[in-house]
Amino acid sequence: MKAASNMIQRASYGIDAPGVVRGHVVLGCILGAIAAIGFAWPRPNFIPASLSAGAAVVAALLLFYAAVMLRSSLVSKKRVCDRLIAALALCGNEQVLDAGCGRGLALIACAKKLTTGKAVGIDLWAAKDQSNNNPEATLANAAAEGVAHLVDVKTGDITKLPFPDASFDAVISMIVIHNIPSQQARDGALRELVRVLKPGGRMAIFDLLHASRYREVLQDAGMNVQVLSRDFLWLLPCRSLLAQKPGKAP
């Protein structure tokens, strides 16, 4: 039985903002139950019809948004990831950094494009940002996808990356930088990503809320930046940026 279990092991990349999703589902179910009791109980009952109707509407909205969040995490984000990896145009021998790798969706997708290169992920492993977010889960996913030998993970802050200048041929970051509370720190994280990128290297970023500012900071740092796509995940405007560092790779 244990051998069979290992054979069918699959990678699982978790759910973004799991507490928010859970809260919407729980509250939606509670309000739905209140509405159902109000509508089904013989009249007169202790729940006014207006309250039942209001509870039903709010329950439907909460459960709808929970469904949108789940689809964004489990389906739409993977499609965006594929687009970013294609834009990086990896040859196979690169050193790639995934800044804020979480459970490894982009990290492992990059590793699958490598032969002699290495995909390095760094994260602070905040469980509030992604369910079961820890390095062991990321390495287990890499093993399940057959790329464990091409993946390394580290614990660290992307505003103070523990890597020398020009360490990586490519950098990717997905739904991470907006979690940094201050604009100054977000700007610092972007400059750190530029610092560790080699001349001629490419950087792909997908995020929400602050992408226009990211473009400005990257351009000020000398990067050539283009908007790769605009999306609407989690019912929020999102943007993908592709940036290239001037110069030729050594």
| Tens of pLDDT, residues 103-145 | 999 999 999 999 999 999 999 998 888 888 999 999 999 999 9
Question: What's the confidence (pLDDT) of residue 3?
Answer: 41
Residue 49's domain spans which residues?
Answer: 11-71
In this structure, is residue 210 part of a structural domain? yes
CA 68 – CA 57 distance, rounded (Å): 17
If asked whether residues 152 and 39 sit together in one domain, one would say no
What are the tens digits of pLDDT across the range 222-243?
A: 999 999 999 999 999 999 999 9
User: What is the Cα Rg of the chain in Å?
Assistant: 22
In this structure, is residue 79 part of a structural domain? no
What are the tens digits of pLDDT across the range 32-64?
A: 999 998 888 776 777 788 888 999 999 999 999
If asked whether residues 125 and 182 sit together in one domain, one would say yes
Instruction: Answer yes or no: are the C-beta atoms of 125 and 134 closer than 8 Å.
Output: yes
Identify the band that residue 7 occupies on the pLDDT scale cut at 50, 70 and 90.
very low
If asked whether residues 59 and 145 sit together in one domain, one would say no
What are the tens digits of pLDDT across the range 202-212?
A: 999 999 989 99
If asked whether residues 159 and 238 sit together in one domain, one would say yes
If asked whether residues 144 and 42 sit together in one domain, one would say no
Token readout for 217 is 């900071």
Average pLDDT over residues 151-167: 97
If asked whether residues 183 and 99 sit together in one domain, one would say yes
- Looking only at the bridges linking them, the beta strands covering 118-123 and 168-174 are unpaired
Instruction: Answer yes or no: are the C-beta atoms of 224 and 246 closer than 8 Å.
Output: yes
Sign of CA dihedral 190, 221, 195, 169: positive
Question: What's the confidence (pLDDT) of residue 166?
Answer: 97
In this structure, is residue 6 part of a structural domain? no
Identify the band that residue 250 occupies on the pLDDT scale cut at 50, 70 and 90.
low
Mean pLDDT of the chain: 92
In this structure, is residue 189 part of a structural domain? yes
